[in-house]
Amino acid sequence: MVPTRRRRVITVISRWYYHAHLNLPAWCGRAWSLRYPQKEARHRMAAIVYHAPFPLDREASSASGIRPVRMLDAFRELGYTVLDVTGSARERSRRLRALRDRLQGGERIEFLYSECATIPTMLTEPRHLPPHPFVDPALMGLMHRHGVPTSLFYRDIYWAFPDYRERVGAAMAAAMGCVYRYDLAWYARYIDRLYLPSARMGAYVPGFPEDRMAPLPPGCEIVDEAPSSRADGGLHLLYIGGLGGHYRLQECLRAVVDVPGASLTICTRPDQWESAGDQYAAMVEAAGGRIDVVHRSGEELTALYERADACVLFVEPDPYREFASPVKLYEYLGRGKPVIASQGTLAAEVVGAADAGWTLPYDASELAGLLRRLLEQPHEIAQAAHRAQGAREEHTWLSRARVVADDMQAVRTGELPRARTLRAGGTR
């Protein structure tokens, strides 16, 4: 009897130590439930897991860093209690253990949402070494065994295109292709809903069932800017984002040079301008001060947006732009700015569907004609801005989070397909 009692005491103390030191939120949550069982029950009903195989950066200026933070905030705004499984591989491993304990203790989790990295999951550590290569598949497997619906946003498919092979070399492209396909293999096993920037991207994603794919484009925050006063009678355009690669703006600059009343501000990172600036330098000089290149971010963008009459995504079309949906497009709409987009891109389709600007062929003379018309008829800009403001509500980050929540409920009830049959003992 004495040894048995001792074992029980040791077990209790060990469990207390684990929860108190490794999983303090869970330990505190159980203490709360003892005192306030009804409140805790309601609390548990709204818990979700948010996963990303990297630390979140609230100061990020790139789309790959902005989106994970915005989606996390949107789920919290919907009222969910978010169980965070992000950070380094070691941090995710520790949080996985705590999460396993929660589930084994009977805690209900509504669903899991994940944001993948641009690079393969196991290579997201510094120096791209994989100290814990299986922690993320293990997390998804744990969720599925407990009947928790799972979803993941698959960011990019650039590695499947020829220019990636040309950039990194054939050997590296082949090796990285294998690692990317490994990710997709365990996604296919465990992920109920694979979200993509657009539905069209699904045709390029190998090895994942089409019926479990869905579009989840970037979102926006609604910001009401002071409208441009047009005190000088000119037409001020704004472009914010990268240069080179999939963002070639030569025809846009040529049009601005040809229309004396038009001006353009290009806001890009210093390294982007250093690598691509030579392609535009002659046109910037020819514009005589009407094309300005700046390097700003965060709150510094407010003044740029307030001056702008319209924003541009007048970029050279290519196969990638047919399905890639840039974050900057939704930022433009969130600011209530009409958009000029080049036909043959997904951005043009979004602008056209919302009637939130103008779409036209990627040709300097076509754009120059539009700019002259807008200079003569400024009311057309005001009308397009009004339509952009009306369309932006459906493109907020909050609306994207609602889509995920609705889909995950549909997965739980069987209205949408699951990744695979649950093992014996799993719960729905």
Q: In this predicted structure, what is the pLDDT of residue 24?
A: 36
Residue 290: C-alpha distances to residues 259, 329, 332 (Å): 10, 23, 21
pLDDT at 51: 98
pLDDT in tens, 73-123: 999 999 999 999 999 999 999 999 999 999 999 999 999 999 999 999 999
With CA atoms as reference, report the closest residue to 402 among 77, 83, 85.
77
Neighbouring CB atoms inside 10 A of 109's CB total 21
294 DSSP β-pair partners: 267
Position 166 scores a pLDDT of 86
Collapse the DSSP code of 5 into the 3-class scheme (helix H, G, I; strand E, B; otherwise coil) and give the result.
helix
Which of 79, 118, 125 lies closest to 197 in space, CA to CA?
A: 118
pLDDT the model gives residue 194: 98
- The candidate with the shortest Cα–Cα distance to 389, out of 332, 312, 305, is 332
Q: Enter the pTM of the model.
A: 0.83
| Residue 241: Cβ-neighbour burial (10 angstroms; 0-12, 13-18, 19+) | buried
Domains belonging to the chain, first-starting first, are 46-218+399-413 (3.40.50.2000), 235-395 (3.40.50.2000)
Give the DSSP H/E element, type plus range, for residue 54.
none
Q: How many angstroms separate the CA atoms of 198 and 424, rounded?
A: 35
- Token duo for residue 413: 């009830």
Please provide the DSSP assignment of 96-114 as one string.
HHHHHHHHHTT-----EEE
Residue 229 has a pLDDT of 56
Q: Which pLDDT score, from 0 to 100, does residue 355 have?
A: 94
Spans in the chain with pLDDT lower than 70: 1-45, 225-231, 421-428
| Rounded Cα gap, residues 381 and 361, in angstroms | 19
pLDDT the model gives residue 81: 95
The C-alpha atoms of residue 35 and residue 56 are separated, in whole angstroms, by 34
Structure tokens at 33: 């439930």
What percent of the residues of the chain are helix, what percent strand, and what percent coil, each to the nearest 5? 55, 15, 30
